[in-house]
Amino acid sequence: MSLHWHNPMGRVSAVARRLVMALALLGACAVSWAADASGSGANPLTPPTSSAPAARPAVRQANNLAIITIKDMITAVTSTSVQRRIKLAEEQGADAIVIELDTPGGEVGAVIEITAALRATPLYTIAWIHDDAYSGGAIVAVACDEIVTSPAASFGDAGIVRGDSQAGFREGLKPTERAKISSVLIADLVESARANGYDEVLIQGLSALRVETWQVRDTRTGKNYFLTRKEYAALFGEEPREGGQAKVGSPGLKDDESGGPLYADASSPLPSEDDNKTVPRAVDPGPAPNFTPGTEDFTPLMRRTISDTVQTRSTRPDFSHEDQANYRLIGPATDGTVFLTLKGASIADFGFSKQTIANDEELKQYTGAQSVARLDQSWSEATVAFMTYTMWGHLISGLLIVIFLLGLFIELSMPGVGVAGLVALCAFVGLVIPPMMINASAWWTIAAILGGVLLLLAEVFVIPGFGVAGVSGLIALVVGLIGTFAPAGQLFPGVGGDDSSLAWAASIVVLAIFAAGAGAYLVSRYTQHVPLANKLILNDAQRSHASAPTMLGAMASAPAAQSGVVPIGAVGVALTRLMPSGAADFDGQLVDVVSEVGFVDAGDAVRVISSTTYRVAVERIEAPSEAHSGSDQA
């Protein structure tokens, strides 16, 4: 598996988060989120009375052990959830944290946030690979103080690709992109290696190809090292012998099959459109004194960036021929043709795993824990992940758009605030809250949607006709709805990231608007045949004609084209409340009309003040006795 790249963004402010939680109370998923974050209820880490376990290293001794699970793809939801659970473990008295991993990897930004949180916690951390820690999962594992594995564990392959979790495609990166992202990941891996005792050259093979290493053992300490080709030559006074079979490798490269440079940046020449020329780049920044690159493919700028980023100083020896007697050659370890991937016992052979742990009971014995609490991802977090990172979740969001628009239409077409308005509000909350919980949707999306609705209402009720307010409102509504599909780390779909996210979001929104329009037509056409529909709407107590039909019913029975047959000055009766549009009766002829000034209640007398093929405008008059005369008024 390979790591997916999305541009990482900062978290929302504390004030914004509180407001998100307040809105989330209107949606079911946020209730559990808030409850989990508060850590309410009995302390799950309170130890029972029991005898003390056998002696073990003090650094690993944990009376209260919290197990934090990371399952499936690592996303911004995972990052937020893990940070919440780490904080909960700290607050409720855990002595150590176990990160149980079974994941194919995920987003670079989310992975880096998790590794930073693990380094920041004062608690001792153990990664339990149970059963797979690929890609971002491997990077999270090495960030812990130590690693234990299940008998069937797999670990490694943290190569980078650009992927889309909704569309389901993967593609390679350009050399410049790979250099920038790899610098971040290699620096993180080297930081973990130095802090937790892993070989800093070998570990680069998790995320970089062409990392050739040879394993040697320090006969004085028993510690294993993995040497680069240069270090091998410096230690043994000769180049490595060819033909040896490396422990990890396979014929052919797994990525960049063209054999060209894997990395390129501003300090390296790049092929131009003319293959016979190169584009000059910036001056070489010089050697990186605090970093031993695992491959010569790393550009000078990458080496300098990694060296400056890593905070922990290297304790790696300077291998020289004078020290040859102190080292014993084990043999070739990796040939660099694949990303470092290990299974079973080989994870321990390469110095990563400290112990094989099959179940929770063995884990308790290993740590000496008297109390073990599992802190799994909450159902609300799982719901947010489903809604924001899966194709089905996005299709459900499209359905919520349909419900939201259709509910607005029904509510505005009938007097009173009824079930349709409440359903529209719930659909709106369900649409905007999940992405906002992971900072994937900015506040501008809510402002755009609500602003668009208000502009459309102003166009309908205040300034009838389809003018600037109506067009602006429609554009704002569409843009806001598309914005709710922005991936985590992007303010706008397709901006600063993958253009496919914009096309995906726009397609769903357009289809949803089309479906809502079709639904509005069907509701207008057939509502009168569904008795329950009328009962769900709150009736207007001020109607003077209790038997007057709703506007939807009138719309269904009104003629499709009025052809301007109603003369100016004709007097009739409003059959529905005009807000400002509705239906009126002119001597038995049902006509769609628009109130030119203010609202008109059902049963009020109206007079035509303008009449065209497409629009009949009326005004309320004070003489209801004239409503049925049908005579022209001077």
More confident call, 462 vs 616: 616
Burial class of residue 541, CB neighbours in 10 A (0-12, 13-18, 19+): exposed
- Asked whether residue 141 carries a pLDDT value surpassing 70, the answer given is yes
Question: Which pLDDT belongs to residue 453?
Answer: 84
In this prediction, residue 341 has a pLDDT band, given cuts at 50, 70 and 90, of very high
Rounded to 5 degrees, φ, ψ at 532 are -60, -30
392 three-class SS: helix
User: Which amino acid, one-letter code, is at 7?
Assistant: N
Q: For residue 628, what pLDDT is reported?
A: 45
Say which range, 351-365, 466-480, 572-586, has the weakest mean pLDDT.
466-480
Distance CA 400, CA 393 (A): 10
Q: What is the pLDDT of residues 572-622, one digit of tens each?
A: 999 888 877 788 898 888 888 888 777 788 889 999 998 877 678 889 888
Q: Which of 92-96, 125-129, 491-495, 540-544 has the lowest mean pLDDT?
A: 540-544
Looking at residue 285, its pLDDT comes to 53
Q: Please give the pLDDT value at position 587.
A: 86
**Per the omega criterion (within 30 degrees of 0), is the bond before 580 cis?**
yes
CB 128 within 8 A of CB 311: no
Element (H, E) at 623: none
Q: CA dist 396 to 190, 330, 393, 431, Å?
A: 42, 56, 5, 9
| Residue whose structure tokens are 């608690």 | 123
Closest CA to 485 of 424, 442, 425, 429: 442
Q: What single letter denotes the amino acid at residue 614? A: Y
**Residue bearing tokens 């194919």:** 104
Cis peptide upstream of residue 540 (ω within 30 degrees of 0): no
Confidence check: pLDDT of 526 > 70? no
d(CA 573, CA 629): 10
- The pLDDT value recorded for residue 264 is 66
Neighbouring-strand partners of residue 334 = 213, 248
Per-residue pLDDT reduced to its tens digit, 246-296: 888 765 445 554 455 677 665 555 444 444 444 444 445 555 567 899 998
Q: Closest Cα to residue 334, out of 185, 259, 232?
A: 232
What single-letter DSSP state applies at residue 8? -
Q: What is the pLDDT of residue 366?
A: 92
Residue 350 pLDDT class (50, 70, 90 cuts): very high
Q: How many CA atoms lie within 13 A of 417 on its CB side?
A: 3
Domains located in the chain, CATH noted: 1-158+342-385 (3.90.226.10), 179-338 (no CATH), 390-532 (no CATH), 551-626 (2.40.50.140)
Average pLDDT, the chain: 75
Nearest alpha carbon to residue 203 among 194, 191, 193, 217: 193
Would you call 576 exposed, middle or buried from its count of C-beta atoms within 10 A (0-12, 13-18, 19+)?
Answer: buried
pLDDT tens digits along 1-42: 456 544 433 333 333 444 334 334 334 444 344 444 444 444
Q: Is 214 helix (H, G, I), strand (E, B) or coil?
A: strand
pLDDT given at position 548: 41
| Axis-axis angle for helices 28-38, 14-24 (nearest 10) | 130
Q: What percent of the chain has pLDDT over 90?
A: 30
Residues whose CB is less than 8 angstroms from the CB of residue 322 and which lie 6 or more positions away in sequence, other chains included: none
Q: pLDDT value at position 385? A: 75
pTM recorded for the entire structure: 0.67
Q: Which of 196-205, 409-418, 469-478, 484-493 has the highest mean pLDDT?
A: 196-205
121: nearest Cα among 147, 149, 95: 95
Of 461, 459, 460, 478, nearest in space to 469 by CA: 459
For 489-521, what is each residue's pLDDT tens digit? 444 444 444 555 677 788 888 898 888 888 887
Confidence of residue 450 (pLDDT cuts 50, 70, 90): confident
- Is 347's pLDDT higher than 50? yes
Separation of alpha carbons 591 and 609, rounded Å = 14
Which residue, 398, 389, 410, 401, is CA-closest to 428? 401
Per-residue confidence (pLDDT) for residue 186, from 0 to 100 = 93
- Do 4 and 78 meet the contact criterion of CB atoms below 8 Å apart? no
Measured distance CA(487)–CA(485) in Å, rounded: 6
Q: Is 14 helix (H, G, I), strand (E, B) or coil?
A: helix
* High-pLDDT (> 70) share of the chain, %: 68
Question: Contact 402/515 with Cβ under 8 angstroms?
Answer: yes
Closest CA to 200 of 288, 299, 326, 320: 288
User: What's the chain's length in residues?
Assistant: 634
pLDDT tens-digit readout, 190-238: 999 999 999 999 999 999 989 999 999 999 999 999 999 999 999 999 9
CB burial string 219-238: b at 16+ within 10 A, e below: eeeeebbbbbeebbebbbee
3-state secondary structure of 178: helix
Per-residue pLDDT at 556: 44
End-to-end CA distance of the chain: 82
Q: What is the pLDDT of residues 424-437, one digit of tens each?
A: 888 888 888 777 76
Tokens representing residue 21 in the block: 């939680």
Strand-pair partners of 327: 218
pLDDT at 96 (0 to 100) = 93
Task: Mention every residue, 6+ apart, whose C-beta is less than 8 A from residue 288.
Answer: 300, 303, 304, 306, 307, 308
Half-sphere exposure of 12 (CA within 13 A, CB side): 22
- Which band of pLDDT confidence, cut at 50, 70 and 90, is reported for residue 98? very high
> How much is the pLDDT for 496?
47
Q: Is 197 left (phi over 0), alpha (psi -120 to 50) or beta?
A: left
Instruction: Calculate mean pLDDT across residues 159-170.
Output: 53
The encoded tokens of residue 402 equal: 């349909």
Return the DSSP state at 120: H
Dihedral, CA atoms, 178, 270, 266, 138, nearest 10 degrees?
10
